[in-house]
Structure 1
Amino acid sequence: MEHVSELGDALPQSANVTTHHIEIRQNPCSTARAAMIKEHVLVLLKKQTIAYGDFTINQFEDPFLTDNVKSVSLTDTDINCSDQKAIDLCKSNLSLHVFQLHEDGPGQEEIEDEELAAANHWLLPSTDFDGLWDSLVFDDDVKGKLLNYSTTTLLFSDKKVDSNVISWNRVVLLHGPPGTGKTSLCKAIAQKLCIRLSDRYSYGQFIEINSHSLFSKWFSESGKLVMKMFQKIQEIIDDPDALVFVLIDEVESLTAARKSSMAGTEPSDAIRVVNALLTQIDQIKRFPNVLILTTSNVTGAIDMAFVDRADIKQYIGPPSPAAIYKIFHSCLNELMRTGVICPTQQLLDLRSLEIMRFIENEATSVSLQLRNIALKSQGLSGRTLRKLPFIAHAMFIQKSSVGLEEYMSALSKAVDHQFKERQDLMKD
């Protein structure tokens, strides 16, 4: 077996060989063929020889790559190699993916004869979602699970597995408290899969349904609006060159439990809406190029008939101290990269601190300080944690450049301030 798989192959050639993914971002003005770009990148990677985890190359000696490629990245080694051993690029099974980002923002889908914006849609891969995948940190291997699920979905479709014998519905449900990254993860997985499957599909479509807008001011029309929305989605799915993702955010607003209707606490139209949604999902699941992504903050309010249709029901909870450390670590590295923080000491990752047994010395002192801040930040959502580095600077620094130790003190104060604000809000 050759060490380098067929270029761009989305599925591993052998269950015994780990596939490493190389994402090649093509310059927006480049018209070079993907096959030619891959040939030049393979030469580059053979010179690189050994990798110790994810890396990105954005400066090239090869004039062809300089003219046509923005960056070359080895990605998701934490998913593919849990033990983080050195990766021999010359002997590894590599899958190369060439892509160009669409720079247009979201468009709007409007339902005919109705004055409402029923959905936003993006062409993928999109600059709006660039970097989102790497910014998401979870304790559980959620990202790996979703990638594996999508790979199996594709494999079963390729092998023409009879869905009447083995059932899968192409539906993912992410549930948990607000601010934990559910919607961002849906956008990130869509972007990632469009890149991974760039040889199979010409482009991607990400359709974010506005669940609340589908409840007409004439409430009895809501079921019809759901059907009209999915008819428009069906037109997009009919293009076999398009990989389509449908996001239903806060799906409980569309699938309010039918038991409420039966108890007389909800009008009968709630049943019509649920039935319309289930019918449309059952129809489009027959197509190999669609994935339905849903989120919910109130899982108990979702109709069980919908829950049963979800192939994956993944809980997304608040981050643990370890995940919080990784989030803060990435934020501070970004501020050091841009010069907002003047680095006086290297920030160690959590694995390095574990190897040093969390013993404080000159090399670990600042990193251990960050770990203490992460420990006292437990209970804050990922959305809040990503805001705290900005709040720390805005409230406690207000200088164009600051030392790492001073910034760390400001971050600690920002965490304390966040919890105080929570307590004040609870008094109202």
Structure 2
Amino acid sequence: MIAALHVEVVQRIQSRANKDHVKELVSSFLVNFVSISPGMTLTENDLADNDELKEHVQQITFCDIEHETEVVATETELIYHIYKLNSFGAETDMMTDASTGEEFATADVWALPSQEFHGLWESLIYDTKLKEDTVRFVETAFEFADRGVDSNVIGWNRVVLLHGPPGTGKTSLCRALAQKLSIRLADRFPRARLIEINAHGLFSKWFAESGKLIARLFERLEEIVADPRLLACVLVDEVESLAHARRAALSGLEPSDSIRAVNALLTQLDRLRRRPNALVLTTSNVTGAIDVAFVDRADIKRRVGPPSARAAYEILRGCCSELMARGVVTPREPVFALRVLEGARFADSEPARGSLALWAVARAAAGARVSGRALRRLPFLARALHAPPACDLPAFVTALRAALDAYLADAADLDDVNVPD
């Protein structure tokens, strides 16, 4: 059986070539490849010797969930996805509260695939197959819908719930998943939108009007999903706000209108998930506070925690490679993949010294349960506050360790301030 490998090709905005022509150009170019590494990206510099290809193509990425090592090009089926990136940014939907006349944002609407989210999927690193599983889940859900599988016999709702502490990349993963689907499912859905709703904002005030506001918001969503050739990914951030609003109303802390607002949102989500072109993505920072009625609607529920040592190393390795590519850290030198260090049993050597020091920083960060968001900020802090003006890789990794120690000390000071006397 021939293995399949997805090839995502970013076509230049100014290119007027049709997708079939671009595919032929890329296919002819790849004939010269003996092997292909999944996860590898070819940029403009790699295409420099092919003027026609460079005229139409910005980037080529080999991305597949089935392969962890190189594949033989002649023994692999290449599945091409040709697309252009939308650069217009988000359109913010505004509403006016009838009782106060105050305007507020209810949702951000992104046309996908978006320049804003380009490369986000590749930047997210997890130990588990979280990314792969979510893609398979959604593709299977749409396959069932296409084949007319009776949802009364086999239940699926096209609802994803990601939960865990702040800063672990839940919202980023939802955005990246929507972007990925807009590329992978482009033949079925030539158009795609990501609609971001902040549940906390809907329930934070104006409870008396919340139900009406939710109804109006979903009227807008109905307009979007009315196009059967458009993929609508609805992201509801901080979905634990549903449970907070419900409990507050039951305890008498908030008016009963909040219960009606919660029920209105759940009802509207139920209607939305019946649409064959809609997907609901949700996040929660407080696992134990998620509304039970909502949890029951989610098909896949995954916890996203702080990076392990392995994931932290790959994140920091990517950061170091980026800084060397941009000339911030010089000269350029290899930062070895963890499997290479493991293969050498972490033996000390001159070429591996920087990588081994980076592994020590990653282990320390994982031991302190540093979030992915904070981990990605460390290279900036290292360069700004701890690195010498002329910085090679070993010096920069030393600065990274200093930045980590300073971050942990600052976090401890904040904890001390927040402890009551």
TM bracket (short chain):
over 0.9
> SS of 1:19's equivalent?
strand
Q: What is the CA–CA distance in structure 2 between the aligned matches of 1:64 and 1:393, rounded to whole Å?
A: 39
Match for 1:131 among 119, 137, 140? 119
Which one of the candidate residues 63, 70, 89 is aligned to 1:105?
Answer: 89
The amino acid that maps onto 2:242 is: L
Cα deviation, residue 276, structure 1: 0.9
Unmatched segments (≥5 aa) in structure 1? 1-15
CA distance in 2, matches of 1:344, 1:47: 27
1:29 to 14, 23, 30: 14
Residue in 2 that maps onto 1:426? 415
Moved more, 374-383 or 204-213: 204-213
Match of 1:280 in 2: 268
Residue of structure 1 equivalent to 2:67 = 81
CA RMSD in angstroms, aligned pairs only: 1.8
Q: 1:269-348 residue pairs with structure 2 within 5 A?
A: 269-343=257-331, 345-348=333-336
- Maintained 8 Å contact 1:255/1:273: no
- Give the C-alpha shift of residue 278 in structure 1: 1.4
Which of 241, 244, 266 aligns to 1:256? It is: 244
Q: 5+ unaligned residues in a row in structure 2: which ranges?
A: none
Tell me which amino acid in the other structure corresponds to 2:267: T
2-structure distance, mates of 1:404, 1:246: 42
Percent identity over the alignment is: 45
Kindly provide the CA deviation profile for residues 323-344 of structure 1, in whole angstroms up to 9, marking residues without a partner as x: 1100110000001101111136
The aligned amino acid for 1:409 is T
**Deviations 1:345-370, CA, capped at 9 Å, x for gaps:** 42111010011011112232221111
C-alpha distance in 2 between matches for 1:296 and 1:53: 32
How far did residue 136 of structure 1 move? Answer: 0.8
Report if aligned partners of 1:98, 1:198 keep a CA contact under 8 Å in 2.
Answer: no
Equivalent residue runs for 1:166-181 within 5 Å: 166-181=154-169
TM-aligned CA deviation for residue 301 of structure 1: 1.8
CA distance in 2, matches of 1:427, 1:60: 56
The corresponding residue for 1:49 is: 34
Could you tell me how far 1:205 is from its partner in structure 2?
Answer: 0.6
**1-side partners of 2:248 and 2:416: how far apart?**
32
1:406 correspondence with 2:390: no
Which AA in structure 2 matches 1:362? E
- Within-5 A mapping of 1:137-286: 137-215=125-203, 217-256=205-244, 258=246, 261-286=249-274
Give the Å deviation of 1:397. Answer: 2.4
Q: Give the Å deviation of 1:95.
A: 1.1
Write the distance in 2 (CA, Å) between the matches of 1:32 and 1:197: 21
The alpha-carbon deviation at position 395 of structure 1 amounts to 0.6
1:252–1:278 CA distance, 2 compared to 1 (3 A): same
Q: What is the distance in 2 between the residues matched to 1:148 and 1:279?
A: 27
Distance between the aligned counterparts of 2:236 and 2:141, measured in 1?
Answer: 20
TM-score between the two structures when normalised by the length of structure 2: 0.92
Q: In structure 1, the residue corresponding to 2:75 is in which secondary structure?
A: coil
TM-score in terms of structure 1 length: 0.91
Q: CA deviation at 1:259?
A: 5.0
1:290, distance to aligned residue in structure 2 (A): 1.2
The equivalent residue for 1:5 is: none
In 1, distance between residues paired with 2:72 and 2:272? 42
